[in-house]
Amino acid sequence: MTLLKREEWQGIVRDVDWTFGYVDDDAVYPDWQSGTGKIPREAWSKWEESYKVSYPDYVATQREKESSAYAVKAALQRSRTFETLDEGWKSATKMHFGGVSLVEYAGLLGELKMARFGLSPAWRNMAVFGALDEMRHAQITLFFGHEFVAKDPQYDWSQKAFHTNDWASISLRTLFDGMVIGPDVVDLAIQLPMTFETGFTNLQFVALSSDALEAGDINFANMISSIQTDEARHAQQGGPTLELLVEHDPVRAQWTIDKYFWFSARAFAALTGPVMDYYTPVEHRRQSYREFMEEWIIDQFVRTLQDYGLRRPWYWDEFMQGLDTWHHSLHLGFWNYRPTIWWKPAGGVDAESREWLREKYPDWDKFYLDKWTVIAENINAGNIEATLPETLPWLCSMCHLPNINPVYGRDGKWKTRNYPLKHNGTTYYFCTKGCRQIWWEDRDAVNHATVVDRFLAGEIQPMDLPGVLGWMGLTPEVMGDDAHGYAWAKSFADPRATGSGLLVGAR
Amino acid sequence: MTDTHANDAAPSAPRKPRLRTWSAFGDIRKRPSEYEIVTHGTNWTLREGRKSPLEGNPSSPGNLWISTYRDRSPLQAEDWHGFRDPDSHTYRSYVMLQDEQETRVNGLLEQYAAAGADAALSPRWRRTLSQAYTPVRYLLHGSQQVEAYLGYIAPSSYITNAAALSAADLLRRVTQISYRTRELQLTDPDQGFATGERRVWEESAAWQPARKAIELALIAYDWGEAFTALNLVLLPTLDDVLLRQFGELARDNGDELTWLLTAYLRKDAERRARWSGALARYALAQRPENAEVLGKWVRKWSPRADAAADGLSTLLETLPEHGREAASVAAEAREARVSFLGDLGLGTAVSAG
């Protein structure tokens, strides 16, 4: 005799809703947190996930995954792989450890919130597994990052990054506070499992895992591919929630998805774009960021929208154009502001890399070549100073990333615009029309000072670059610098390379 | 490590000693455990120097909720991040532990099913199970929600993780009861297994005080009160009735399987009691005024827990062939809680209730 099949009894595990007799339903499920809005309370009984899981199955599967992930790590610990990894690639991992581990933990908080305030018991149960998954991801990422702390203090930021006022941390906190920790659970389910996890995590996990293998970092590939195997399970909380929302409040569904697809695209342009197109050594790249976005993200996103009867977002053209610029500009920004980040950005623009970039991005030369040429000329002239920042970058009041997106003007010239908006006597600046539009619609909730605003308000003292770096929590041994000691710049000294004529006062 | 910093030419400050672990641990001699490395300071909404928990408008609903129910709770400590789960559970150790437990439970379930144990139970005992055992999944699901909420709103990731694992334990318990519910239904389709529990839970007089207690706990939004209500008062009282005493009752009535299953589940309850007790002790050690804060909540919730135990005790007396005296069931449950709280130094608070 064997055990009963899961299908025979699982219905009972989720048959746990009852009518409250001693408290109001609204008090247990306040709209602030449960967010049902126009979805009638009784409609939630239809919520059903497609891929069922039970507690005993869960712990059995997960125990195996954990054992194998940590066994691979233990085996590799004796190897000298880490010492042989390229600095640019190591920076990809530092960025990931710092930028992702505590985001996974935010995911845990969001899942717990859904486990409490979700309006369907099936959903609440699923969210408990989601919470466990996210705890796993936070812990495995921290544990793997911790291994390298003694070798390189930048890995300390695996745990530290989100506790600081670093501008990259503020930008990511803003994103995930709004996406995961703060919102009601209906918005949360559309934003996190639906838009972010279903839509985007492939980008960081699949793309990066393949780049990691190419770069010889089996340990890292092992970690993130093991994490990725959990995503399908808890990401499915988005689908049934979206179905209900589309049925009863399609405007809210469309708006919530549009907004968080946009924010996610901005964040991944920062997190993944530079890694794929610059930090991973050129010979190890499988696909460009743009190719990966098109194949893995955009097609699927458009299909999902169609499946649910939703439209393409209003910003579609701007978003698609951004695939050729956002992450290149952010890379330039990170590199230029390298003392303000916890990794060492690879320049990634030596002659061979530039060839690759031109092939993948036919417009790359038009906007980026002259910038890198000036930088290289200064480096080659021994004037590193001129390539370091002296002031703060203009940051977008919405996504808190730098306002450095070039657009092709009617006059045939590339220019960087900062999309101003005047509101209550203050002028706000944005990186894109998309960010400006979202800020305007959500202005009461998102109105939030950028690092520049805080600086100008005198919150950061002393009011100079060292003061800013201190305020951001950066210590000298952590501040980033070029991953390869500026070796790439030599390729610009080649007589065939065009001089810019813009050399800044060589010393 | 190569250092190509531009201003290296300037006389540099003495290098910091090499890090051995997260700088967040400060100057510590002992290398932190794996548990600490993966648990410490992982909730950024608790970071030092924050202006509000979440970025964005400080008066946004999300910010107001967290500030009100977490940051301005009457239960305060200098530093909640010093609290440690005595079992030091990480995700990894948790799934290993529970997979082992579930494997054993599955072995039991298989054996007893093969022996046709449910059919051998007396109809009267099966009726007892349908009234006093299978309806408990509603109470446990409500508890699971409160425990999950505690994880969301707790002022330290050390507390959040312990609560999240306890929420998972409660889901485990609901799962096991659901499995048994279906088995019993297959054996005895007329007893209302899987179909009648909601009515019992919503209408039976014996369950109403328990239902009232958990409904009220669901709206206890202050983190400290949610913790006190559920983990210090309600569950320690009701687990004594529903796990220990009901398990013994099952054994007395020839239901070995229920006796053994409840014994396994008690390990989860004991683990929750261990970390909850440690947290209460920690709160008292951090700030003497917390004795009054916790005491006030203990006094508020104890009568609700006692009423719930009273209600259930009547079922244990009247339903089975070999019953237990209701008054002693309730008294033992109360005593279990009083002794748990007494060990924590919350004894006086209890006697005042």
The partner residue sitting opposite A115, judged by closest CB among B41, B145, B216, is: B145
Contact at CB, B149 and A112, closer than 8 angstroms = yes
Among B175, B197, B201, B207, which would you mutate to test the A interface (most chain A Cβ atoms within 10 Å of its Cβ)? Answer: B175
Give the residue on A whose Cα is nearest the Cα of B108.
A3
Whole-number pLDDT of residue A412: 75
Q: Per-residue pLDDT for B149 more than 60?
A: yes
Asked if ipTM goes beyond 0.90, one says yes
Give the residue on A whose Cα is nearest the Cα of B154.
A109
Q: Which residues of A touch B53 (CB under 8 A)?
A: 181
Beta-carbon contacts of residue B331 (< 8 Å; ≥ 6 apart): none
Cβ neighbours around A86 below 10 Å, total:
18
Model pLDDT for residues B230-243, shown as the tens digit of each residue: 999 999 999 999 99
Tokens of B198: 């909601």
Contact at CB, A136 and B40, closer than 8 angstroms = no
Residue positions counted in chain B:
353
Whole-number pLDDT of residue B7: 42
C-alpha A32/C-alpha A35 separation (Å) is 6
pTM (predicted TM-score): 0.95
The partner residue sitting opposite A153, judged by closest CB among B12, B19, B198, is: B19
Q: Which residues of A touch B168 (CB under 8 A)?
A: 55, 128-129, 131-132
At how many degrees (to 10) do helices B157-187 and A121-146 cross?
140
Q: Which residues of B touch A70 (CB under 8 A)?
A: 92
Among B91, B103, B166, which would you mutate to test the A interface (most chain A Cβ atoms within 10 Å of its Cβ)? Answer: B91
Identity of the highest mean pLDDT range in A233-237, A362-366, B201-205: B201-205
Contact at CB, A163 and B45, closer than 8 angstroms = no
Contact at CB, B216 and A113, closer than 8 angstroms = no
Beta partners for residue A426, in sequence order: A423
Is-contact B143 B237, C-beta < 8 A?
Answer: no
Matching residue, tokens 């305030």: A117
Q: Which residues of B touch A9 (CB under 8 A)?
A: 178-179, 181-183
Whole-number pLDDT of residue A192: 92
Contact at CB, A163 and B47, closer than 8 angstroms = yes
Chain A nearest CA to B56, separation (Å): 5
Contact at CB, A32 and B61, closer than 8 angstroms = yes
Matching residue, tokens 């000329």: A377
Say which CATH superfamily domain A52-503 falls into.
Ribonucleotide Reductase, subunit A (1.10.620.20)
Sort A309 into a burial class: Cβ within 10 Å, 0-12 / 13-18 / 19+: exposed
Q: Which residues of A touch B20 (CB under 8 A)?
A: 149-150
Q: Per-residue pLDDT for B331 more than 90?
A: yes
Q: Per-residue pLDDT for A199 more than 80?
A: no
pLDDT band at residue B186 under the 50/70/90 scheme: very high
Q: Which residues of B touch A138 (CB under 8 A)?
A: 38, 42
Among B28, B60, B138, which would you mutate to test the A interface (most chain A Cβ atoms within 10 Å of its Cβ)? Answer: B60
Q: Per-residue pLDDT for B14 more than 80?
A: no
Summarize the confidence of residues A416-435 as an average pLDDT.
Answer: 93
Q: Shortest CA distance to B80 belongs to which of B153, B168, B164?
A: B153
Q: Shortest CA distance to A397 belongs to which of A425, A422, A363, A362?
A: A422
Give the residue on B whose Cα is nearest the Cα of A153.
B19
Contact at CB, A108 and B160, closer than 8 angstroms = yes
Q: Shortest CA distance to A455 belongs to which of A466, A446, A444?
A: A466
Question: Is the model more confident about A412 or about B9?
Answer: A412
pLDDT band at residue B1 under the 50/70/90 scheme: very low
Contact at CB, B38 and A138, closer than 8 angstroms = yes
The partner residue sitting opposite A102, judged by closest CB among B42, B62, B146, is: B42
Chain B nearest CA to A41, separation (Å): 18
Contact at CB, A447 and B56, closer than 8 angstroms = yes
DSSP type of residue B64: H
Residue positions counted in chain A:
507
Q: Report how many Cβ contacts below 8 Å link chain A to chain B.
A: 263
DSSP type of residue B131: I
Chain A nearest CA to B95, separation (Å): 5
Whole-number pLDDT of residue A408: 77
Q: Which residues of A touch B1 (CB under 8 A)?
A: 152
Model pLDDT for residues A45-97, shown as the tens digit of each residue: 999 998 899 999 999 999 999 999 999 888 888 788 888 999 999 999 999 99
Question: Is the model more confident about B348 or about A387?
Answer: A387
Write the single-letter amino acid at A329: S
Give the residue on A whose Cα is nearest the Cα of B7.
A385
